[in-house]
Amino acid sequence: MEDPFRDLTDAELSALELIETFRFDPAEGFVRLDRHLARMARSARVLGLPFRLEAAQAALSGIGGDQPLRVRLSMRSDGVFACSTAPLAPNPPFWTIRIAEARLSSTDPWLRHKTNRRALYDAARAALPEGVDELVFLNERGALCEGTITNLFIEKDGRLLTPPISCGLLPGVLREELLATGKAEEAELFPEVLRTAEAVYCGNSLRGLIPARLGK
């Protein structure tokens, strides 16, 4: 079987970056940092890239302050890290979501890794209709997958449900934590549940769970 991660051209490999985006909180420090670095290390191992934990930690060593920050940690294919920060505005009370026109493939292995190979997601965000905060992708079976920058969560019959990795999506860090602590469980979900659920959330490690509603 061909390995898509070993079939990259030299130019594609040189341009490849692993990415983690997370929150710095003045009271807590880096939120879920261990999980973020563990995910990056797993992806590096699968992709055959060098990952050095101490180098990642060194890249973050100068970050601090008394305001919440959005932190973006990236690692090039040669193992060199870079870090940038930006002020983090408070969450809005809710997000308006719609279904994206483009479909994801549940068999695409790149969906399992957070990299800069995000053309589909970036194009969708760039074309967000006015008044829409997030687009949710379906896969080839019409099952719900994820948003452009978030995982999807549905509250149904008192249970918090999220699509399984097998549907084709990124294993988000907040998602991982909620599953590991028993606060969420996996279930294949279809678009009609967005209208019948007790609650809908878009979530990531940076912003937590944001209440969402389906727009027209």
Average pLDDT, integer, range 176-189? 99
Assess whether pLDDT exceeds 80 at residue 3.
Answer: no
Residue 1: the pLDDT is 38
Domains of the chain are 10-87 (3.30.470.10), 95-214 (3.20.10.10)
Average pLDDT, integer, range 40-44? 98
Average pLDDT, integer, range 114-131? 95
Read off the pLDDT of residues 54-76 as tens digits, 9 standing for 90 and up: 999 999 999 999 999 999 999 99
Higher per-residue confidence, 4 vs 209: 209
DSSP assignment of 152-213 equals EEEEETTEEEE--GGGT----HHHHHHHHTTS-EE----TTHHHHSSEEEEEETTTEEEEEE
Q: Which residues contact 3 (CB under 8 A, 6 or more apart)?
A: none
Number of helices followed by number of strands (H, E) in the chain = 6, 12
